[in-house]
Amino acid sequence: MSRGKCVKMGGHLVIIESAEEQAFLKNEINIKEGNDKSYWIGLTDQVEEGQFLWVDNRPLDPKNRFWDNGQPDKESEDCVQLGVDDKWDNWHDFSCEVERKRICEKTAELLLI
């Protein structure tokens, strides 16, 4: 559901490619009001359990993994959220069926006029 909503807006669920990008997103989430600070990102192991792929089918880079302690933890939880609250502070796997907010990204366009 979240993936489709990002595509409708001309983008895709975010692909986190560095510690700097992870820190930037966590900071942006911390600024948001409200208690629900869990957002879907574009990472899943729906195709093969334990093999996490980004929405563009690239495998998760071993150098850029930001799992919370004990995560990923359940075979039935195939989608990944970035959570920043009193319970979570990085990535955690969760059931894909749960309605959550999402972080979408879109390629920037360069216009030379």
Q: Which of 100, 21, 108 is nearest to 61 (CA)?
A: 21
As a whole number, the mean pLDDT across the chain is 90
Residue 7's SS3 state is helix
- Domain positions in the chain: 2-105
Residue 83: other Cβ atoms inside 10 A: 21
Count of beta carbons in the 10 Å neighbourhood of residue 30: 10
pLDDT-based confidence at residue 113 (cuts at 50, 70, 90): low
Q: What is the CATH number of domain 2-105?
A: 3.10.100.10
* 29-59 residue pLDDT tens: 988 877 788 999 999 999 999 999 999 999 9
Residues 6+ apart with CB under 8 A from 85: 35, 36, 37, 38
User: What does the radius of gyration of the chain's CA atoms come to, in whole angstroms?
Assistant: 14
**What is the tens place of the pLDDT at every residue in 62-97?**
999 999 999 998 888 999 999 888 778 899 999 999
**1 is written with which tokens?**
């559901």
